[in-house]
Amino acid sequence: MNDMNPSKLLQRELMGISAVWWREYKVFWREKSRIVSSIVQPLIWLFLFGSGIGASLSVENVHYRDYIYPGILTMSVIFGSVFFGLYIVWDRKLDVLKAVLVAPVARISIFFGKVLGGCTDVLLQVMILFAFAFLFPAVDLQGIPQALLLLLVTSIALVSLGLALGSLLESLEGFQVISAFLVFPLFFLSGALFPLDERLPSWLTGLVILNPLSYTVDGVRGALLGMNRYPFWADLGIVALFALVMLVVGSVMFSRMK
C-alpha cells in the first residue's frame, strides 16, 4: 500500500473531483424540465420584457431587447449558479451527500467537483442561449468567446457562494431569504437592465459600482455590443478576484459543514 506517494494521492483526489463532476453532469441531463425552464425564463425576459420596453426605449441607438441580452445572460448565470450551490441543502436533507462525504476523498475535492459541476451546468445553459444570439441584430457573434470566459469565471464565484451559504443553511426555508435579500439585489444592481449613466441617482450608482457582477455585465456587453465602460481585462480581473475570494470562502465553509 503506497499511501504516502504524492502523485498517487493527487491522482486519487482528481478522480474524486471528477466523480462529483460526473454525477452533476448526469443529473443535469436527467432533469429535462429544469433545463427547459432555465432556457425559457431568460427568453421570456428578452422577448416579452425586452420587446415591450424596447417599443418605447432604446439605449445609444441599440434596441432595448438587444441591449439587455448580455444582462439576461448574466442573470441566468446568477440564478443558475447560486441556486445550484444552495441545492446541497436539499442533498443533505435527503442524505445523498452522506455517502459521498465518507469516501476517502478530501472535502475540498468534493467542493471543487461541485463547483465544476455547477459551472458546467450553467455554461451549457448559456451556450443554448447563445444559439439564439442571431435573433438580436446588434449582437456581435465574434465576442462570444470573451463573453463565455467572463461568464465562466462569474459562475465559479457564484456556485462557490451558493455552496458556502448551502453549508450554513439547515433548511430550505432559507432559500426565500437568500433569494430576496441576495440574489435579486445582485441581479438588479448589476446594471443588467439599465445603463450606468449620470441620470441614475447617486446611491444607486454607488451600489452598482460595488457589485462585482456589474463588471460581468459590463464586460459581456463590451464583448457582444461594444458598449463597455471599462476595458475587458479590468472587468475580467475584478470578477476573477471575486471568484478567488469566493472559492476560498466556499471551500472553508464546505469543509466545516456538519
Partner 1 sequence: MAVIETRSLTKTFGKIQAVRGIDLSIEQGEIFGLLGPNGAGKTTTIGMLCTIIRPTAGRGIVAGFDVAASPTQVRRNVGIVFQDPTLDTILTGRENLQLHARLYGIPAGMRALWIDEMLALVDLKDRADDLTRTYSGGMRRRLELARGLLHRPAVLFLDEPTLGLDPQTRARVWEYIRQTARKENTTVVLTTHYMEEAQQVCGRVGIIDRGKIIALDTPQNMIDSLGGDIVAIRAESPPLDRIRSLPYVSSVRMVDGVMEATMKSAHLHLAQLLPLIPGVQSVEMRKPTLNDVFMKLTGRDIRDDNAADSGSWAETIARYQQRGQ
Binding residues for partner 1, rule: CB under 8 A, are: 1, 3, 11-12, 15-16, 18-20, 22-23, 26-27, 30-31, 94-96, 98-100, 102-106
Contacts 24+ apart (CB under 8 A), 243-247: 243/153, 243/154, 243/156, 243/157, 243/160, 245/157, 246/156, 246/157, 246/158, 246/160, 246/161, 246/164, 247/115, 247/156, 247/157, 247/160
Nearer of residues 124 and 149 to partner 1, judged by Cβ:
124
Nearer of residues 8 and 184 to partner 1, judged by Cβ:
8
Nearer of residues 55 and 96 to partner 1, judged by Cβ:
96
Question: What is the closest distance, in whole angstroms, from the C-beta atom of residue 167 to partner 1 in the complex?
Answer: 17
Nearer of residues 94 and 210 to partner 1, judged by Cβ:
94
Nearer of residues 34 and 229 to partner 1, judged by Cβ:
34
Question: What is the closest distance, in whole angstroms, from the C-beta atom of residue 2 to partner 1 in the complex?
Answer: 11
Strands (E), the chain: 58-59, 62-63
Question: What is the closest distance, in whole angstroms, from the C-beta atom of residue 12 to partner 1 in the complex?
Answer: 5
113-148 exposure pattern, b = at least 16 Cβ within 10 A, e = fewer: bbbbbbbbbbbbbbebbbeebeebebbeeebbebbb
